[in-house]
Structure 1
C-alpha cells in the first residue's frame, strides 16, 4: 500500500511539473552598432524549459506574439470583428522593439537546436548543424549568485565565454548555446557586443508557447537566406498581381488606377549567407498571421537593425 501511495505521488508530481514551465530570465545587453560608438541596449530574454524541450525568445517578441495570437480566434468570426480587434491592437502597436526577431527551440537530451523565423507570413526554420565545441577550463568563480565554471567556445565568428553552474543540472543556455554539464548563468562574446546574465528563475503556469506550424518550410542553415528570400519574392509577386487586377478593375469602372500594393515591400530578414542572424525584418512578418490578412497592412514597431550575433 505504501509503495502504491509513493508511486502515485511520483506520477502526480511528474504530471504537475510537466504542465509547468521553468523560466530562466536573462538580462541581455546588445551593442547595436559595431562601427560607431553607441551605448549598449538592454533587453530581457527568456529560456523557457518544459519537460525535455526549451524555448529561447525575447520578452518583447513574446509579448507581441502572445497578444496577437490571443486576438486571432476572435478575428476569424467575421471581417467587421477582425477590424474591431485590429483597432484595439492599433492602440498598443508601439511595442518595445526587439533585437531577437526569431525564436529557438531545443530538444535537450538530443542537443538538437532549431531556429525559426517568419518570411512573408510563413514560418521557415532550420536545424543547426554546428555543435558548439566547448573548452571547459578549471577556473571557478561566483557568477550571478551561483558557483560557476568557465568554458570557452568559438561559434558563428565570435569567441564566447560561458559560466555554467552545476547547481542547476540543465544542459542549456541562451540563444543556441547548450552542451555544458549545467545551466549557463553568464555568456558574453569576445567583442563585447552580446552579454547574457541570468537574473532570476521563476515558474510559469500556462506559459505562452510559440506555435510550430505544420506548413512551415524546412530549410538548412546554408540555404536559409536564399529560401527566405524566395518566399518573400513569391509573396511580393502575388501581391503585385493582386494589386494589378484590382487596379485594372478600377480603370474600367472609373477611368483611374488605384495605385495598387507595393510588391517589393517585404524586406529580407538581414541574413547573410551561412546563417548570419540580425534579428531584423519587416515588422508585420513577426506575427503569426495568415497571408493576405488585413493585419499585414498594419504597422507594428518590433524589430531593430543591428550588429549580427553571428558573423559567419
Structure 2
C-alpha cells in the first residue's frame, strides 16, 4: 500500500511539473545599428521551459500574438455574423515593436533547434543545422546572482561569451544557444550588439504557447530566404487575382442595378486579400496573424531595420 502511494505521488508530481511552464526572463539589450553610434535598446525576452521542450520569444511578440490568437477565437465563436472593427477593440492598443520577429523552439534532450517566422500569412520554419561548439573555460564568477562558469563559441559571424550555472540544471539559453551543462544566465557577443541577462525565474500554470501550424512550410537554413521570397510572390499573385475578381463583380453588379435604389456596386466588395504586411525590426517580412478574409482591421506597426543577430 505504501509503495502504491509513493508511486502515485511521483506520477502526480511529474504530471504537475510537465503541465507547468518555467519562464526565464532576460533583460535584453540590442544595438539596432552597427554602423551609426546609437544607444542600446532594451527589450525583455522569455525562455519558456515546459518538460523537455522550450520556447524563446520576445515579450512584445508574445503579447501581440496572444492578443491576435484571442481575437481569432472570438471571430470563430461569432461565426462572422457580426462585423467587428478591430481598430475599436482592445486590439487597437499600441504595440511595442520587437527586435525578435520570430520564435524558436528547442527539444532539449536532443539539442534540436527550430526557427519559425511568418511570411505572407503562412508559417515557415527550418531546423538549425549548425550545432554550437562551446569551449568551456575554468573561470567561475558570480553572474546575475548565480555562480556561473564561462564558455565561448563562434556562431553566425559573431563570437559569443556565455555564463552558465549548474544551479539550474537546464541545458538551454536565449536564442538558438544551448548545450551547456546548465542554464545560460548571461550572454553577449564580441561586438557588443547583443546582451542577454537573466533577471528572474517564474512559474506559469497556463503560459501562452505559439501554435505550430499543420500547413507550415518546412525549409532549410540555406534556402530559407529564397522560400520566403517565393511565398511573398505567391501571396502577391493571389491578392491581385482576388482584387481582379472583386472588381469584375462590382462592374457586373453595377450594370444590373444601375439607376436603382440599391445603388449597385456593393455586391462583391469584400475584405478578401486583406493580409497586412510589414518589415519587422529583424529586417524580415512579417505578416499579420489575422487570417485573410477577416473583417478585422489590423493595427499597423512601425517599420524599422535591425542589426541582424546573425551576420552570416
Deviation string for 1:9-50 (max 9, x for gaps)? 111111111110000000000000111111000000000000
Deviation string for 1:45-81 (max 9, x for gaps)? 0000000000000001101111111121221223354
| Residues 1:161 and 1:191: Cα distance change in structure 2 (over 3 Å) | same
TM-score of the two chains, using structure 2 as the length reference: 0.88
In the aligned structure 1, how far is the partner of 2:172 from the partner of 2:274? 41
Instruction: Kindly report which structure 2 residues correspond to 1:219-298, keeping only aligned pairs within 5 A, or say none.
Output: 219-251=219-251, 253=254, 266=277, 278=282, 280-282=284-286, 285-287=287-289, 289-295=290-296, 298=298
In the aligned structure 1, how far is the partner of 2:275 from the partner of 2:62? 28
Deviation string for 1:130-186 (max 9, x for gaps)? 000001111111000000000000000110000000101110000000000000000
- Structure 2: runs of 5+ lacking an equivalent: 259-264
SS of corresponding position for 2:84:
helix
In the aligned structure 2, how far is the partner of 1:65 from the partner of 1:203? 20
Deviation string for 1:212-250 (max 9, x for gaps)? 011100000000101111111101111111112222344
In the aligned structure 2, how far is the partner of 1:160 from the partner of 1:63? 28
SS of corresponding position for 1:14:
helix
Instruction: Kindly report which structure 2 residues correspond to 1:212-223, keeping only aligned pairs within 5 A, or say none.
Output: 212-223=212-223
Contact residue 49 and residue 55 of structure 1 kept, 8 A? yes
Instruction: Kindly report which structure 2 residues correspond to 1:94-173, keeping only aligned pairs within 5 A, or say none.
Output: 94-173=94-173
What corresponds to 1:197 in structure 2?
A: 197
In the aligned structure 2, how far is the partner of 1:50 from the partner of 1:102? 19
What corresponds to 1:274 in structure 2?
A: none
Contact residue 279 and residue 308 of structure 1 kept, 8 A? yes
- Structure 1: runs of 5+ lacking an equivalent: 271-277
| Residues 1:264 and 1:122: Cα distance change in structure 2 (over 3 Å) | closer
Q: Max radius of gyration: which structure?
A: 2
In the aligned structure 1, how far is the partner of 2:279 from the partner of 2:60? 21
Q: Structure 1 residues 241-250 or 170-179, which shifts more?
A: 241-250
TM-score of the two chains, using structure 1 as the length reference: 0.88
SS of corresponding position for 2:137:
strand
Contact residue 273 and residue 292 of structure 2 kept, 8 A? no
Aligned-residue CA RMSD (Å): 2.6
Pairwise CA distance, 1:302: 6.4
What corresponds to 1:5 in structure 2?
A: 5
Contact residue 48 and residue 55 of structure 2 kept, 8 A? yes
| Residues 1:42 and 1:268: Cα distance change in structure 2 (over 3 Å) | closer
Q: Structure 1 residues 38-47 or 76-85, which shifts more?
A: 76-85
In the aligned structure 1, how far is the partner of 2:209 from the partner of 2:150? 31
Instruction: Kindly report which structure 2 residues correspond to 1:11-160, keeping only aligned pairs within 5 A, or say none.
Output: 11-76=11-76, 77-84=78-85, 87-92=88-93, 94-160=94-160
SS of corresponding position for 2:309:
coil
In the aligned structure 1, how far is the partner of 2:187 from the partner of 2:162? 4
